[in-house]
């Protein structure tokens, strides 16, 4: 329940989706502005033609602001505003600042109470019986109570005048947009524009309005558009849950926003999680000493013109308190390009990159390639599988089992296919669907996957038991789903082996949902062999890369950068292909080789006789140095020099990993595997007590990770390093040559 004061002064606007274009050819003030847009049901970014039409010339630049004064109102980056939705809507000019009482239709200074169901305002004295004070907790008006009892309710109409709706009512009925201002600028022709992020009401999402949605709840989207200031009505306020719970007397234009809605994948994500990720990025790239706003010599001609205007006084009847515009030196407020941003521009912070430095940057694992080579067949299979699942009239659920050793491009291939399919959805060639990506490493417990899936689908967080119940109802009963909610869902689960429980209930539930007649669920992930045997699951194997494929992957990254000798790339590819075929390891070796060559070049440039030697390419010697450095790490030396039984212990762990596909195993399973290896190769089994001591010794060296607690047969064990490191260290062991067969 919220209290509304009749003298509401807060003018704030929420924003939803972007009009296709917002131009004003007449360049008149906002009162006579027009918006070239059509009434549409969802946020749509502007046409490409409109964007090109507004391209700036190369010799004239935009002037960016942090705050502007426009038509008597002050707008700054981060504000939420109402935006007109239709060009010919005359009701947009009807914007009462104070809401009328739903009974007497008068405006007074007495306190009004708001119904938590219909959001209507009522004077305390107009109620029957009248209220002397605002009651605690939620409050429902008499009209809504009768409506819930099934009675026919006729709301009173104002005598002799038209019922005027507030901006809040227009927004919640899809007659206005709500938007968040991300940046502000002035075009060379003198018009003011802003970059906005749209809000939407629950009815405009694929899931529709759910019972848990509040009447004032909005969703922030990932859709942006450029909007002219002529289309802005006034401010509104979109708050997070903590702020909204305290906003008991903040006016009528207050809304709640807890989730961001992905307009492409039709999924939800909590804003708190997004903000935490952004904070981590800022902390990693922060540079508090950078103060770009101190450089006053970079002011443009437009800045000086605006300063001259401010000296002359307010323009067009602006209020005295709004005299200072964004680039006024008096107010010490500068354009966005001049404020103290944490990330220093590349042209200021660092010199021009050398060829070797460019090679190091493009070989980083964090650098995503535009095209994934050598996996065209697998990507075509994934695309045809998804299209066949979501384009089928019945759209029966399906499962795709993707397996392969690490570093073979499984996850990247799936994500590349999903990006391509998203463009087809936007073009209208295939039906819309919901896409959810989950990584098992980010789950606190296997059961948490239920609430993560349900929250991504519905935008509502519940406990995992309640989420399991709701998901079972959703994927089993088609009659309970709304028309807009009845769309396919593609679920990508990475690191599925971390969802293993003692009775395997989590895995069985996830794999059982697609078998329901009306589930419309498509599951894509790496599954356990004993789980996949339960049903006919389509399988797709990603084999290790051979040296030609690794060479093509590295060459595609280095396209246009002449930094490596051809023999050096081939040498690195052959070395990695002989061990594991892991593309990530090949990229890391080449990147480290480029660092070694760069260090050698800088060292030679300090010597006068070698200063003009020309450019230096990465040679086979540099690659060999990187390989030796990578595979001569301390943990590899420990594995090479450990005892005979420790080497068999580690080999059994790698063999168990390859056999089950799980990174974790128990001491009991490992002991059984080790006994079989010893029996088949003429080695004496040492006994469980001795094995337990060997495992503890390897755990103390951090070669393996042992589960904390008492030492027992169900203790969980896991390798602390990649399996190919173990293979490199032990495959050429002179005392145990048979280990190579299991590595």
Are residue 176 and residue 197 in the same domain, yes or no? Answer: yes
Are residue 583 and residue 729 in the same domain, yes or no? Answer: no
pLDDT, tens digit (0-9, with 9 covering 90-100), for 665-686: 889 999 999 999 999 988 999 8
pLDDT, tens digit (0-9, with 9 covering 90-100), for 530-548: 444 444 568 888 888 999 9
DSSP category for residue 484: T
> Higher-confidence residue: 500 or 65?
65
Domain boundary among 541, 568, 591: 541
pLDDT score of 723: 84
Are residue 619 and residue 648 in the same domain, yes or no? Answer: no
Are residue 527 and residue 572 in the same domain, yes or no? Answer: no
DSSP category for residue 618: B
Are residue 73 and residue 222 in the same domain, yes or no? Answer: yes
pLDDT band at 586 (very low <50, low <70, confident <90, very high): very high
Q: Is residue 121 part of a domain?
A: no
pLDDT, tens digit (0-9, with 9 covering 90-100), for 64-113: 999 998 888 899 999 999 998 765 555 555 566 567 787 787 776 677 77
How far apart, in Å, do the first and last CA atoms of the chain sit? 65
pLDDT band at 479 (very low <50, low <70, confident <90, very high): low
pLDDT score of 546: 92
Residue 492 has pLDDT above 80, yes or no: yes
* Percentage with pLDDT > 90 across the chain: 22
pLDDT, tens digit (0-9, with 9 covering 90-100), for 168-197: 888 888 888 899 999 999 998 889 999 999
Q: Is residue 40 part of a domain?
A: no
* Orientation of helix 505-512 relative to helix 448-458, angle to 10°: 30
| DSSP-assigned states of every residue in 491-554 | EEEESGGGG--SS-HHHHHHHHGGGSTT--EEEEE---HHHHTTS--EEEEEPPP-HHHHHHHH
> Higher-confidence residue: 124 or 21?
124
Backbone φ and ψ of 246, nearest 5° = -95, -10
The answer to whether the beta carbons of residues 422 and 595 sit under 8 Å apart is no
Pairwise CA distance, residues 477 & 481, whole Å? 8
- Residue 109 buriedness (CB in 10 A; 0-12 / 13-18 / 19+): exposed
Average pLDDT, rounded, for the chain: 75
Give per-residue burial for 597-631: e unless 16+ CB within 10 Å, then b. Answer: bbebbeeeeeeeeeeeeeebbbbbebbbbbbeebb
pLDDT band at 716 (very low <50, low <70, confident <90, very high): confident
pLDDT score of 89: 53
Pairwise CA distance, residues 106 & 121, whole Å? 11
pLDDT band at 634 (very low <50, low <70, confident <90, very high): confident
pLDDT band at 44 (very low <50, low <70, confident <90, very high): very low
Q: What mean pLDDT comes out for the span 503-526?
A: 83
Reduced to 3 states (helix: H, G, I; strand: E, B; else coil), residue 272 is helix
The CATH code of the domain that includes 689 is: 1.10.10.10
Are residue 627 and residue 639 in the same domain, yes or no? Answer: no
Going by C-alpha positions, the residue among 31, 492, 510, 64 that lies closest to residue 230 is 31
Going by C-alpha positions, the residue among 497, 509, 495 that lies closest to residue 442 is 495
Q: Is residue 344 part of a domain?
A: no
Pairwise CA distance, residues 259 & 268, whole Å? 6
Are residue 568 and residue 428 in the same domain, yes or no? Answer: no
pLDDT score of 698: 92
> Higher-confidence residue: 420 or 61?
420
Tokens 């907790």 -> residue: 137
Are residue 386 and residue 534 in the same domain, yes or no? Answer: yes
> Higher-confidence residue: 297 or 410?
410
pLDDT score of 522: 87
The answer to whether the beta carbons of residues 181 and 72 sit under 8 Å apart is no
Q: Is residue 162 part of a domain?
A: no
Tokens of 397: 């659920």
The answer to whether the beta carbons of residues 537 and 523 sit under 8 Å apart is no
Average the pLDDT over each of 107-121, 256-270, 429-443 and give the range with the smallest value: 107-121
The dihedral formed by the CA atoms of 525, 527, 533 and 535, expressed in degrees to the nearest 10? -30
pLDDT, tens digit (0-9, with 9 covering 90-100), for 640-653: 999 999 999 999 99
Residue 604 has pLDDT above 90, yes or no: no
Q: Is residue 100 part of a domain?
A: no
Q: Is residue 709 part of a domain?
A: yes
Residue 166 has pLDDT above 70, yes or no: yes
The CATH code of the domain that includes 537 is: 3.40.50.300
pLDDT score of 95: 60
Q: Provide the H-helix boundaries in 268-315.
A: 271-285, 301-312
Q: Is residue 357 part of a domain?
A: no
Backbone φ and ψ of 81, nearest 5° = -140, 155
Reduced to 3 states (helix: H, G, I; strand: E, B; else coil), residue 458 is helix
Are residue 247 and residue 263 in the same domain, yes or no? Answer: yes
Domain boundary among 226, 249, 275: 275
Reduced to 3 states (helix: H, G, I; strand: E, B; else coil), residue 219 is strand
Tokens of 195: 């970059």
Most confident of 10-14, 722-726, 735-739: 735-739
Domain boundary among 233, 258, 275: 275
Tokens 């050698």 -> residue: 600
Are residue 648 and residue 627 in the same domain, yes or no? Answer: no
User: In Å, how far from its chain's centre is CA 611?
Assistant: 47
pLDDT, tens digit (0-9, with 9 covering 90-100), for 107-148: 766 777 778 777 777 888 788 888 878 787 778 888 888 777
Pairwise CA distance, residues 147 & 169, whole Å? 19
| DSSP-assigned states of every residue in 87-129 | TT-GGGG---SSPPPTTT----SSEEEE-TTT--EEEGGGSSS
In the chain, how many domains are there? 4
Q: Is residue 253 part of a domain?
A: yes
Q: What mean pLDDT comes out for the span 351-370?
A: 84
Are residue 624 and residue 525 in the same domain, yes or no? Answer: no
Going by C-alpha positions, the residue among 13, 176, 250, 4 that lies closest to residue 107 is 4
Pairwise CA distance, residues 99 & 105, whole Å? 9
Domain range for 645: 634-741
> Higher-confidence residue: 249 or 226?
226
The CATH code of the domain that includes 574 is: 1.10.8
CB contact set of 601 (below 8 Å; sequence gap of 6+): 356, 616
pLDDT score of 482: 52
| DSSP-assigned states of every residue in 313-327 | --STT--GGG---TT
Are residue 699 and residue 669 in the same domain, yes or no? Answer: yes
pLDDT score of 184: 93
pLDDT score of 315: 39
Antiparallel, parallel or unpaired: β 63-65 and 398-404: unpaired
pLDDT band at 393 (very low <50, low <70, confident <90, very high): low
Pairwise CA distance, residues 511 & 309, whole Å? 68
- 3-state secondary structure string across 540-601: EEECCCCHHHHHHHHHHHCCCCCCECHHHHHHHHHHHHHHCCCHHHHHHHHHHHHHHHHHHH
The answer to whether the beta carbons of residues 428 and 422 sit under 8 Å apart is no
- DSSP element (H, E) containing 194: strand 192-200
Reduced to 3 states (helix: H, G, I; strand: E, B; else coil), residue 290 is coil
pLDDT score of 305: 44
């Amino acid at each position: 329940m919220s209290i509304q004061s009749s003298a509401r002064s807060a003018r704030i606007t929420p924003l939803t989706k972007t009009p296709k274009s917002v131009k004003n050819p007449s360049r008149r003030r906002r009162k006579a502005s027009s918006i070239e847009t059509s009434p549409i049901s969802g946020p749509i970014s502007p046409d490409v033609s409109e964007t090109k039409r507004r391209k700036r010339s190369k010799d004239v630049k935009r002037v960016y602001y942090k705050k502007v004064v426009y038509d008597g109102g002050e707008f700054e980056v981060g504000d939420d505003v109402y935006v007109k939705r239709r060009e010919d809507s005359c009701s947009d000019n009807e914007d009462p600042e104070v809401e009328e009482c739903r009974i007497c239709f008068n405006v007074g200074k007495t306190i009004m109470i708001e119904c938590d169901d219909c959001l209507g305002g009522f004077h305390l004295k107009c109620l029957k019986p009248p209220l002397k004070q605002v009651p605690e907790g939620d409050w429902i008006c008499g009209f809504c109570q009768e409506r819930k009892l099934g009675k026919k309710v006729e709301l009173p109409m104002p005598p002799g005048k038209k019922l005027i709706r507030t901006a809040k009512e227009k927004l919640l009925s899809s007659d206005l947009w709500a938007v968040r201002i991300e940046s502000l600028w002035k075009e060379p022709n003198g018009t003011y524009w802003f970059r906005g992020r749209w809000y939407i009401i629950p009815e405009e999402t694929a899931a529709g309005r759910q019972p848990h949605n509040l009447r004032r709840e909005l969703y922030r989207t990932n859709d942006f558009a450029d909007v002219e200031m002529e289309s802005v009505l006034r401010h509104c306020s979109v708050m997070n849950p903590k702020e909204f719970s305290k906003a008991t007397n903040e006016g009528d234009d207050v809304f709640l926003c807890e989730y961001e809605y992905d307009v492409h994948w039709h999924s939800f994500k909590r804003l708190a999680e997004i903000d935490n990720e952004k904070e981590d990025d800022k902390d990693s790239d922060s540079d508090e000493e950078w103060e770009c706003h101190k450089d006053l010599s970079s002011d443009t001609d437009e800045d000086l013109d605006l300063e001259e205007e401010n000296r002359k006084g307010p323009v067009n009847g602006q209020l005295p308190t709004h005299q200072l515009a964004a680039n006024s030196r008096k107010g010490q407020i500068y354009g966005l390009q001049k404020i103290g941003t944490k990330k220093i521009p590349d042209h200021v912070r660092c010199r021009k990159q050398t060829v070797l430095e460019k090679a190091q940057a493009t070989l980083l694992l964090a650098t995503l390639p535009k095209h994934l080579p050598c996996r065209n067949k697998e990507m075509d299979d994934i695309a045809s599988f998804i299209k066949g699942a979501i384009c089928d009239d019945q759209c029966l659920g399906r499962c795709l089992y993707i397996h392969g050793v690490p570093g073979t491009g499984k996850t990247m291939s799936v994500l590349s296919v999903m990006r391509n399919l998203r463009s087809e959805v936007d073009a209208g060639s295939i039906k819309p669907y919901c896409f959810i990506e989950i990584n098992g490493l980010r789950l606190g417990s296997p059961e948490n996957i239920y609430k993560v899936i349900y929250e991504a689908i519905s935008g509502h967080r519940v406990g995992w038991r309640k989420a399991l119940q709701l998901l079972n109802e959703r994927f089993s009963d088609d009659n309970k789903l709304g028309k807009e909610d009845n769309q396919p869902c593609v679920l990508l689960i990475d690191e599925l082996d971390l969802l293993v429980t003692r009775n395997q209930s989590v895995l069985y539930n996830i794999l059982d949902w697609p078998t329901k007649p009306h589930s419309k669920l498509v599951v894509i992930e790496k599954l356990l062999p004993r789980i996949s045997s339960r049903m006919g699951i389509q399988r797709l194997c990603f084999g290790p890369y051979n040296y030609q494929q690794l060479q093509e992957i590295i060459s595609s990254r280095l396209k246009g950068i002449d930094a490596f000798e051809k023999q050096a790339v081939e040498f690195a590819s052959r070395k990695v292909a002989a061990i594991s075929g892991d593309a990530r390891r090949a990229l890391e070796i080449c990147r480290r080789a480029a660092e070694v060559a760069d260090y050698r070049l800088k060292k030679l440039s300090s010597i006068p006789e070698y200063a003009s030697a020309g450019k230096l390419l990465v040679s086979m010697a540099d690659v060999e140095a990187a390989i030796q450095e990578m595979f001569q790490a301390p943990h590899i030396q420990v594995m090479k020099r450990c005892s005979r039984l420790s080497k068999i212990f580690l080999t059994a762990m790698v063999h168990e990993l390859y056999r089950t596909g799980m990174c974790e195993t128990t001491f009991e399973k490992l002991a059984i595997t080790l006994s079989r290896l010893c029996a088949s190769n003429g080695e004496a089994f040492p006994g469980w007590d001795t094995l337990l001591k060997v495992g503890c010794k390897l755990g103390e060296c951090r070669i393996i990770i042992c589960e904390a607690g008492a030492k027992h047969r169900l203790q969980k064990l896991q390798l602390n390093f990649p399996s190919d490191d173990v293979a490199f260290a032990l495959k050429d062991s002179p005392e145990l040559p048979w280990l190579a067969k299991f590595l």
